[in-house]
């Protein structure tokens, strides 16, 4: 099992519904968030284009955060989901420094927090909160090892990219372009 | 090729400024760790060479600083933790992949060794010192007898500690300025150099000062070589690493780096020490203090600058 997410940048309208859904679902403290939306403009006027991306932890295969965690609080769960065990985290900040996606933050309670792919929902067979609320259905979540899954299908038929592949972390969030 | 003209930041008020998560505690901790490594290494080497009578400050006086430096350093690390009450988790796991993990263990070994080392000299400094318990006297006698054997692991652990202070930073591949293995040897020689400077400050013996001064000159030259090496490595690297090097070559850290670290922290003390070696009267306190300050500022700059180098946004 290898969980991954594909996000259609052509469909995303940047409404931030995913951000709010995540904050509600996971009780993220006010002023913090586990996912966010960025906007990239490229080209020269009048040929400009905008790309909107909803970003979060990439649950990388080669996770620097898991590697550098001194206590083993950051670890892989089934399906390659990177998780933080709160009672093992000492809040040293090593994983925050090591993440090229800056997906982690220090929770006001002291431990480090980040996207969990809504593992509590995924284990029940549901989609992560952000995916389930997306009004344009631009997000796909699924198992890369399952050849019949929607995500494998969409990645087969569309061009996609990952963010900062040069950081060498083998990210599992793909952006359909 | 698509060129990204503009990427909106994330504008998340409580996160973005806080991703700059390491503050003044970390550079101070790295400085004290390097200083301790330098002093203990020199103390161990001169004990192994059997020169503990000639090199009183190196072997005897300067190591008294080390337990305090290490304990203050560990306290700085503790201050830096956000989930403080769970700090003991560091010592319930052994994770060799994580430099912070094995560094914590090295400090756990190094601190008691340095305390035992200094304790074995306490009665030479304070002849009236009373250990209260008989077994402490027995232990002291054993340590004094076996100093030569203790010096070996101490030298090795001192080198590991010195390298660790650099590897701690170089383990983070998301920070291009840190993500270079040269940081290990660079922080090691920098630590040796500050350790030597500290010994020079404490020594009253002219011959010892000259000898350690010459060693310091060697450390400074190697350090300069490593810094050039580091910047060359960045310039031959990927775009993010070139950007990282440019922080020092025209970017916002150029002046503090070249004025306080390279010029006042390395070149000027090296010149003063050379002048002293060829016979000019130079108060050796000046280069020693400059080296110490330069080492401290170098760590502050590396920690600050490293955190603004990144891959995205």
Q: Which of B58-62, B220-224, B264-268 has the lowest mean pLDDT?
A: B58-62
The answer to whether residue B43 scores a pLDDT higher than 50 is: yes
Q: Which residue of A has its CA nearest to B93?
A: A71
Which chain A residues touch B15 with a CB distance below 8 Å? Answer: 31-33, 105
Q: Is A1 on the interface with B (CB under 8 A)?
A: no
Q: Taking residues A127-134, what's their average pLDDT? A: 96
**Residue B288 backbone class (left: φ over 0; alpha: ψ -120 to 50; beta: rest):** alpha
Task: Tell me the nearest-neighbour CA distance from B83 into chain A, angstroms.
Answer: 4
Top-level class of domain A3-176? alpha beta
Q: Any chain B CB within 8 A of the CB of A87?
A: yes
Residues of B in contact with A164 (CB under 8 A): 311-312
pLDDT at B129 over 60: yes
CB contact under 8 A, A167 and B173: yes
- Flag if A97 and B238 touch (Cβ within 8 Å): no
Q: Which pLDDT belongs to residue B1?
A: 43
A49 falls in which pLDDT band (50, 70, 90)? confident
Nearest to B95 among A72, A96, A98 (CB): A72
Residue B254 has pLDDT above 80, yes or no: yes
Q: Please state, for a pLDDT cut of 70, what percent of chain A lies above it.
A: 100
The band of B281, judged by pLDDT with boundaries at 50, 70 and 90, is: confident
Does the CB of A70 have a partner CB in chain B at under 8 Å? yes
Candidate from B209-223, B275-289, B291-305 with smallest mean pLDDT: B275-289
pLDDT band, very low/low/confident/very high, at B132 (cuts 50, 70, 90)? confident
Q: Which of A70, A105, A167 sits opposite B98 (nearest CB)?
A: A70
Residue A91: per-residue pLDDT: 93
User: What residues of chain A, 123 to 162, have a C-beta less than 8 Å from chain B?
Assistant: none
B5-18 in b/e form (b: 16+ CB < 10 A) is eeeeebebeebeee
Q: Identify from B26, B78, B99, B100 which residue to disrupt to test chain A contact, counting A C-beta atoms within 10 A and taking the largest count.
A: B100
DSSP assigned state of A167? G
Kind plus residue range of the DSSP H or E element containing A52: strand A47-55
Position A42 pLDDT exceeds 90: no
Average pLDDT, chain B: 91
Express each pLDDT in B56-84 by its tens digit.
Answer: 889 889 999 999 999 999 999 999 999 98
Question: What local confidence, expressed as pLDDT, does residue B284 receive?
Answer: 85
Q: What pLDDT was estimated at residue B6? A: 67
Q: Which residues on A lie below 8 Å from B21 (Cβ)?
A: 93, 96-97, 106
- Contact call for B83 and A110, based on CB within 8 A: yes
Q: Is B44 in contact with B154 (CB distance < 8 Å)? A: yes
Say whether pLDDT at B5 is over 70. no
What residues of A are in contact with residue B14 (Cβ under 8 Å)? 29, 31-32, 105
B-chain CB neighbours of A23 within 8 Å are none
What pLDDT was estimated at residue B54? 86
**Nearest C-alpha of chain B: how many angstroms from A148?**
32
Interface of B with A in 184-223 (CB under 8 A): none
pLDDT at site B126: 83
Q: Which pLDDT score is estimated for A89?
A: 95
Domains delineated in chain B: 18-308 (1.20.1630.10)
A165 touches chain B (CB under 8 A): no
The nearest CA of chain B is from the CA of A28 a distance in Å of 12
**DSSP letter, residue A176:** E
Which tokens hold the place of B236?
A: 């031959």
Query: Distance, in angstroms, between B52 CA and closest chain A CA?
Result: 38
DSSP-based three-state secondary structure for A150: helix
Per-residue pLDDT averaged across B228-250, rounded? 94
The pair phi, psi for residue B119, each rounded to 5°, is: -60, -35
Q: What is the ipTM of this complex?
A: 0.89
Span A22-45, average pLDDT: 90
- Would you put residue B279 in left (φ > 0), alpha (ψ -120 to 50) or beta? left
Rounded CA separation B77/B61 (Å): 26
Q: Is the pLDDT of residue B85 over 80?
A: yes
pLDDT at B131 over 90: no
pLDDT digits (tens, 9 = 90+) for A59-91: 999 999 999 999 999 999 999 999 999 999 999
Higher-confidence residue of B52 and B150: namely B150
Q: Where are the beta strands (DSSP E) in chain B?
A: 4-7
B273 vs B211: CA distance, rounded Å: 11
Segment B150-192, tens digit of pLDDT: 999 999 999 999 999 999 999 888 899 999 999 999 999 999 9
Q: What proportions of chain B, in percent to the nearest 5, are helix, strand and coil?
A: 75, 0, 25
Question: How many C-beta atoms lie closer than 10 Å to residue A137's C-beta?
Answer: 10
């Amino acid at each position: 099992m290898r969980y991954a997410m594909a996000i259609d940048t052509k469909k995303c309208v940047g409404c931030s519904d995913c951000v709010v859904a995540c904050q509600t679902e996971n009780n993220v403290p006010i002023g913090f968030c586990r996912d966010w939306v960025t906007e990239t403009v490229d080209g020269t006027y009048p040929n400009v284009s905008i790309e909107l991306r909803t970003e979060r932890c990439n649950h990388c295969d080669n996770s620097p955060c898991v590697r550098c965690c001194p206590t083993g609080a950051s670890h892989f769960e089934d399906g390659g989901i990177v998780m933080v065990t709160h009672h093992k985290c000492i809040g040293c900040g090593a994983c925050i420094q090591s993440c090229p996606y800056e997906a982690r933050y220090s929770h006001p309670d002291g431990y480090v927090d980040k996207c969990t792919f809504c593992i509590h929902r995924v284990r029940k067979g549901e989609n992560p909160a952000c995916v389930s609320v997306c009004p344009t259905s631009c997000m796909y979540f699924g198992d890369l090892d399952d050849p019949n899954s929607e995500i494998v299908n969409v990645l087969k038929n569309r061009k996609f990219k990952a963010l900062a592949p040069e950081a060498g972390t083998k990210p599992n969030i793909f952006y359909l372009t | 090729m698509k060129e990204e003209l503009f990427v909106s930041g994330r504008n998340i008020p409580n996160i973005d400024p806080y991703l700059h998560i390491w503050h003044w505690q970390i550079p101070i901790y790295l400085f004290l760790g390097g200083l301790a490594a330098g002093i203990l290494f020199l103390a161990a080497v001169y004990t192994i060479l059997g020169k503990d009578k000639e090199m009183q400050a190196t072997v005897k006086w300067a190591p008294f600083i080390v337990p305090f430096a290490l304990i203050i350093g560990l306290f700085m690390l503790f201050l830096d933790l956000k989930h403080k009450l769970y700090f003991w988790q560091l010592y319930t796991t052994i994770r060799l992949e994580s430099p912070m993990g094995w560094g914590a263990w090295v400090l756990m070994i190094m601190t008691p060794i340095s305390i035992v080392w200094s304790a074995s000299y306490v009665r030479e400094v304070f002849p009236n010192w009373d250990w209260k318990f008989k077994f402490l006297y027995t232990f002291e006698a054993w340590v004094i007898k076996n100093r030569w054997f203790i010096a070996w692991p101490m030298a090795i652990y001192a080198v590991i500690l010195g390298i660790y202070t650099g590897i701690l930073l170089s383990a983070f591949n998301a920070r291009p300025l840190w993500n270079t293995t040269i940081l290990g040897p660079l922080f090691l020689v920098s630590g040796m150099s500050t350790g030597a400077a500290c010994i020079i400050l404490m020594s009253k013996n002219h011959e010892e000062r000259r000898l350690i001064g010459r060693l310091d000159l060697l450390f400074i030259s190697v350090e300069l070589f490593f810094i050039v090496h580091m910047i060359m490595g960045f310039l031959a690297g990927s775009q993010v690493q070139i950007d990282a090097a440019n922080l020092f070559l025209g970017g916002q850290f150029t002046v503090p780096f070249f004025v306080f670290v390279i010029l006042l922290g390395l070149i000027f003390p090296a010149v003063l020490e050379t002048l002293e070696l060829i016979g000019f009267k130079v108060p050796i306190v000046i280069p020693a203090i400059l080296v110490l300050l330069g080492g401290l500022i170098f760590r502050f700059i590396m920690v600050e600058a490293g955190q603004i180098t990144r891959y995205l946004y």
